[in-house]
Amino acid sequence: MSFLQLRVNCADNSAPFYRSVAAPLQSALARQGYTRWTLARGWQHGPHFLLTFDTAAPGLHAGWLDEAQALVREFLATHPSTPVDAVRYRALQARLNDVEAAGIDPELVAPNDTLSVHPTDAARLAAKYESTAQWQSVFDTEARLRELVIGRWLEAERHEQFVAQMMVLLACVYPPVPSDDPARPEYDGFLSFHSNFVFWRHSLPAHQREQIDARFDTDYAAMLDDYRGWLAELPDAMTGQAALGQTARFMTERFAAFLALAGGDVIHARSPFARQQTAQRSSVSDFHKAFFYNADGSAYQFSKDFCAYRWLLNIVYKALPLLNIAPLRRQQFNQALDRLHLAFPDDISAIRAALPTGAA
């Protein structure tokens, strides 16, 4: 399978790119029946957009690449982005490289406001996965997400309400099961938000934890009325053809597809890492033991539902930079939405009941 990537080095993620490049390109390709491409936002070697096209798929008309490059070059010429300070960016890139174990050369920063074209193939794109099938499921899902993201940018320039509601829909597709933990009446999709936040918070120095707790508590109190209003909108809003209806169908359909992959052992709780990479109990902290090991010392075995949900959750998380949701803001949403669902369970039950057929 052959693929081609367009890398657009651009410091700004803002509406002009979507209106001048992404949306016109999407429309032109869709008219030819072609939808097999994805859009991502990355930091490696400088801030950039990455467009990945399945060039073996039917529907790509002659001259499509010239048209795509013309759209990008016109955009870059008419919308120069914020200059990148290479020295400061190298320092940031070195930190991100360590945190994410990206394995890149932290000294290399591509020139801003430039375009490059890179032929590739499925084997190289899937190199960090256990199988091409795993990577293919991600590519297919990101192609669907690309349509939602571009649609949002055509409607608005701020996306926090949509992202919060999207994350609630995501959490609600996970079928809840009863819990014996008095602090949590059920195990559900919001528990993953909680866990993601808790593990991130645990990695911070003590003084930063105190600062984060105070800041997030203040944010939650200030936003509570807005959050409740956003919850109340969802049962009716997800029934139509607008963005939230499309998002609800996307979540339920992708969860069902990933549940089938988990049932076929294509994905598991550790994916895309091998099962054999699970750490020995003796090598992890007491904090981590509490999350991943049973009282008898055996490793906790996660359900197929969890495997499918985790796969979908990580793909959605990866798309959030396209909507200008920074890592810190993502953690605020993780903490706030988990608190919200515990405080207002009736609202969550109403949302679950309104999800499209086949959801939890």
H helix runs in the chain, sequence order: 15-17, 23-31, 64-78, 86-100, 122-125, 132-155, 160-172, 189-202, 206-237, 243-263, 286-292, 304-319, 327-343, 345-354
Whether 298 has a pLDDT exceeding 70, the answer reads: no
ω before 272 within 30° of 0 (cis)?
A: yes
Whether 350 has a pLDDT exceeding 50, the answer reads: yes
Q: Supply the pTM of this predicted model.
A: 0.92
DSSP letters of 26-63? HHHHHHTT---EEEEEE-TTSSEEEEEEETTSTT--TT
pLDDT for the residue numbered 99:
82
Q: pLDDT for 233-242, tens place per residue?
A: 999 999 877 8
Q: pLDDT for 50-62, tens place per residue?
A: 999 999 999 999 8
For CA atoms 70, 76, 4, 38, give the dihedral sign. negative
Q: Is 17 in a helix, a strand, or coil?
A: helix
Q: Where are the domains of the chain?
A: 2-128, 158-354
Q: pLDDT for 117-137, tens place per residue?
A: 999 999 999 999 999 999 999
Whether 74 has a pLDDT exceeding 50, the answer reads: yes
